[in-house]
Amino acid sequence: MTTELTARLLEPDAVVGSWALDPARTKVRISHQTLWGMGTVRGAFADVRGGGELGPDHSLTGVVTVGAASIDTGNATRDKHLRGPRFLAAEKHPDIVMTVRSARTSGSTVELAGELMIKGVREPVTLTAEITASTGTTLAAHVTGSVDRHRFGVSGNQLGMIVGPTTVDVDAVFTRADRTEHAK
């Protein structure tokens, strides 16, 4: 993200209003070390929805919901395990929900503080966002972070093969949800 885009994001009238997540242009990916750190499993979620509100006081709130059953790692057997009770428990807990409660700039990034819910367990998390595009009608961000799956009761780990945190990598595109014209 450039400093110019960060400054534009924080201009009160530039992006104030309601924003809807564009599921067709948003990609939610995860990766995790496996085989005792010798390999990486990568996956993506196809079902994503949400939105947010940017206030004139620089406040930011929002919710992004991911369908747990939509995980796709390219391996049907592994995906079935990931949807199962030892991992995401998608049948009992169909949604993974990130609720953003606040944001603050930190250099050229925006720190998003909020709460993540997986398997019905809510834990505080902080993610880092870089604004990659900003127009009057579209806002794009690259969001990254790490999640300790054990905090959420995600316990599947045959023979201790899964090590470290899960990396979250999101390319999110938001479009104006309100019809109010805002100054640029």
Residues 24-30 have a mean pLDDT of: 97
**Closest Cα to residue 146, out of 171, 126, 117?**
126
Task: Give the global pTM.
Answer: 0.85
pLDDT digit string, tens, across residues 45-56: 999 999 999 888
pLDDT-derived band of residue 20, with 50, 70 and 90 as boundaries?
Answer: very high
Question: Tokens in use for 1?
Answer: 């993200």
Q: Sketch the domain layout of the chain as residue ranges.
A: 3-176
Q: Any idea of the CA torsion for 43, 44, 47, 50, to the nearest 10 degrees? A: 120
Phi first, then psi: give them for residue 13, nearest 5 degrees. Answer: -90, -10
Torsion over CA: 163, 68, 71, 21 (sign): negative
Question: What confidence score (pLDDT) does residue 4 get?
Answer: 56
Rounded-to-integer distance, Cα 134 and Cα 20, Å? 14
CATH, domain range 3-176: 2.40.128.110
Rg of the chain over all Cα atoms, to the nearest angstrom: 17
